[in-house]
Amino acid sequence: LGKDRSVNNGERHLEQTCNGLGQKSLAGTCSTYQNDIALFYVNIVLAGLGNAFVVIIYRNRKISFGCVLPNHIVIKELLDSMAPITLEEMTGIKLMNRLDTKYVASKAQLVQLLKLVQDKYYVQETLERRIIPYLTTYYDTDDHLMYMMHHNKRARRMKVRVRTYVASELTFLEVKNKNNHARTKKKRIEVPSQDDFRGVEGAHELVQRKTGLDLDKLNAVVRNQFERVTLVNKGKTVRLTIDFNI
């Protein structure tokens, strides 16, 4: 965050969001929530319709919104007011090939964003849940090769992780590659569990082919848990993903 409370992201700069989001001003909320930091990023699919994919990650802070309701209650009410969409209905926008751009925002601004899109987007519903828990373990070499690629801002970099989609009880070994054109591609195979994946047919081949590394030489280095909300526009060309309670 810059001194003017704007957000700087290297090559891109997010203007002072307190000045307005669409036609609705956020000025009344920014002074209250200036310490309630959030992260979101935009991913644009390069094939097909050029879909946009936004992820917002924010802290779980119990701060009142407008001195009426806490933000997490307002967020849930806004999500409950939206029409649902199923995973099967979202098959055309999986976003395995996309552009990622990351930003920082506040939880109060997330509330404003949801208000702007609530009539234009569906919310993904899985087993009657609209806020879905995720569990992810990231793997790296002993010398943290993949982390250092990211830390040193290498254009070409990669990630290896095992992610569990808790609501659907599905777990995948996933490999993400980012090239020097900022394009991100993800490949994955289903595995039995977070701890049972190395012996799965195709697991070693996937990691070797996409990273040049031996899966047996990768160690678990970071595990995180969060909850995710996925929104899809009514034209099914744009996806907005919101991650929180990290």
- What is the chain's pLDDT, residue by residue, as a tens digit (246 residues)? 445 544 444 444 434 434 444 444 333 444 443 345 455 544 444 333 344 444 544 444 443 334 456 888 888 999 999 999 998 888 766 666 666 666 677 778 889 989 999 999 999 998 899 999 999 999 999 999 999 999 998 989 999 999 999 988 999 999 999 988 778 889 999 999 999 999 999 999 999 999 999 999 999 999 999 999 999 889 887 888 888 888
125 neighbors 86 (Cβ within 8 angstroms): yes
d(CA 141, CA 207): 12
Strand 132-140 and strand 64-65: the pairing is unpaired
What pLDDT was estimated at residue 59? 44
Quote the Cα angle for 49-83-37, to 5°.
75
What pLDDT was estimated at residue 157? 93
| pTM metric for this prediction | 0.68
In the numeric block, the tokens 């001194």 are attached to: 3
Number of Cβ within 10 Å of residue 12's Cβ equals 11
Structure tokens at 47: 């094939």
What pLDDT was estimated at residue 141? 97
At 207 the three-state DSSP class reads: helix
What pLDDT was estimated at residue 238? 80
What pLDDT was estimated at residue 101? 65
What are the φ and ψ backbone dihedral angles of 143, each rounded to 5 degrees? -95, 15
End-to-end CA distance of the chain: 20
Structure tokens at 131: 């806020």
